[in-house]
Amino acid sequence: MLSIKHAPQRKRRPALLLRALALPAALVCGGAGAVEGLPPEVEAALQRARVPPQAVSVLIQEAGSGRTVLSHAARTPVNPASLAKLLTTAAALDLLSPAWTWATPVGLQGTLQDGVLDGSVFIKGSGDPKLVMERVWLLLRRLQQMGVREIRGDVVLDESAFAAAPGQPADFDGESLRPYNVLPSALLLNYKAVTYTFLPDPARGVAVVAVEPPLAGLTVDRSVPLAPGPCQDWSAALKPSFTATQTRFAGSYATACGEKTWPLADPTPASYNQRLIEGLWREMGGTLRGRVRDGRWPEPLAPAFEMRSPPLLEVVREINKFSNNVMAQQLFLTLAAQQNPGVPATPEAAREVLRRWLAERLGESTADLVIDNGSGLSRETRMSAALLGRLLQRAYDSPWMPELMSSLPISGIDGTLRRSRATPGRAHLKTGSLRDVAARAGYVLSNSGQRYVLVVIVNHPNAQAARPAMDALVQWTLKDGPAR
């Protein structure tokens, strides 16, 4: 375990300026056999997208040997968007191990007799990103299997393992109901999200509305009128309004839409955990005389049982395959919590963990790198294609290489690359996407059987239009590039 001192708190949440990695010049700037400039087919695709070559950073190397095949502006620090998750997940696999799990202890204080707990239940979060509704149900079910049917005291939720998240969910883009904007929490239940499902019933002329999970005090319109016509902007046509106590649909739902699901972040996340626990407990037939509230685990109370998360390798897979920002933020802060036991984890401390890991595992630092958070959902993060290439080379030679590579989307097959036009199944690449950023990084298996490290990042207002150029670069790599 690395020995890392806790970083001091600051009034604002500035990104921590770090130092990137030193790479031998031959591995970044090219050497014998390296291609100068971008391949013609890539340049042509960029021209069609109206993206200038100077807005693109590229690094392609042989995996293992590190021989550079193509380098273009590889040392320039740029916004990598969700490629930042590669740093978070690689560090976690190395520092914690693929089999590592989160533990959520549950304790009982008081006496239990004839199904009645004359006392309180305590649940202490440790950052588990997989406490989805099904696992919360299992936690409460296990409590019932211990004989608890009625709780005369309170259910106390301890979230002290993480410091309170700075800012508000809408800070990034003003979209507070988008699930990717949910803030991290030591006790993150069901991603603090609500999922609405719309099921057309033409015989009744309505779409039935189902909602999960059951939240105490929330009433929901259980049907919405059906409407003729095509399925276009169906969510806006619903004319929804959301509060902590009521969800209304003043519009209509097109029959042509069929069944649709709509996951949304809860509009009042501060009370979400309390409403979820109470609603689910009562739905399961339990009785609660007190209330669900925030508090601290009383020492020296011993846990009655612990809920264990799936292993880290499964969490990393979900983070990278589907670019899950909330899970990445949970993992980011978990790294700080594990390196500083007993100290509330902060973004500053997590940045320090990553900085030390980069320096100790990958070499001396020389160029500017900015880490804002663990997910890449940021306008401030900066890193170079060279740094990401170095990271992927280190991962390729590591014991946890299979876990990291298998967590990456497969071109044309799954995850965020399922719509890629590149040859299906031949590339494992993490994607990155923001308003002005499009990026991919990972591994490509060529026609000759050689595996390559590939990093391509576009920073430009037309970045999203450059995806065909990135596919063209993958295809060029598949053909062993300069061997043509």
| pLDDT value, residue 34 | 62
Tens digit of pLDDT for each residue in 322-352? 999 999 999 999 999 999 999 999 999 999 9
Instruction: Tokens for 398, please give them.
Output: 């590591």
223 and 206 Cβ atoms separated by less than 8 Å: yes
Q: What would be the CATH architecture of the domain defined by 16-99+312-483? A: 3-Layer(aba) Sandwich (3.40)
| pLDDT value, residue 36 | 67
N- to C-terminal Cα separation, the chain? 46
Closest residue by Cα to residue 158 from 335, 285, 289, 303: 303
Closest residue by Cα to residue 149 from 289, 244, 291, 297: 289
Alpha-carbon distance of 183 to 171, in angstroms, equals 10
Q: Indicate the domain borders of the chain.
A: 16-99+312-483, 102-309
| pLDDT value, residue 362 | 85
Alpha-carbon distance of 441 to 432, in angstroms, equals 9
Sequence-distant (6+) residues with CB within 8 A of 187 are 104, 123, 124, 125, 131, 157, 158, 159, 273
| pLDDT value, residue 27 | 41
| pLDDT value, residue 89 | 98
Instruction: Tokens for 199, please give them.
Output: 């099921």
Q: Find how far residue 368's CA is from the centre of its chain.
A: 25
Which stretches in the chain have pLDDT values below 50? 1-32, 484
Instruction: Tokens for 26, please give them.
Output: 């031959």
Tens digit of pLDDT for each residue in 210-242? 999 999 999 999 999 999 999 999 999 999 999
Alpha-carbon distance of 425 to 413, in angstroms, equals 6
- Matching CATH number, 102-309, of 3.50.80.20, 3.50.50.60, 3.40.50.11540, 3.40.50.970: 3.50.80.20
Write out the DSSP string of 125-156. Answer: ----TTB-HHHHHHHHHHHHHTT--EESS-EE
| pLDDT value, residue 117 | 98
Sequence-distant (6+) residues with CB within 8 A of 235 are 262
| pLDDT value, residue 37 | 84
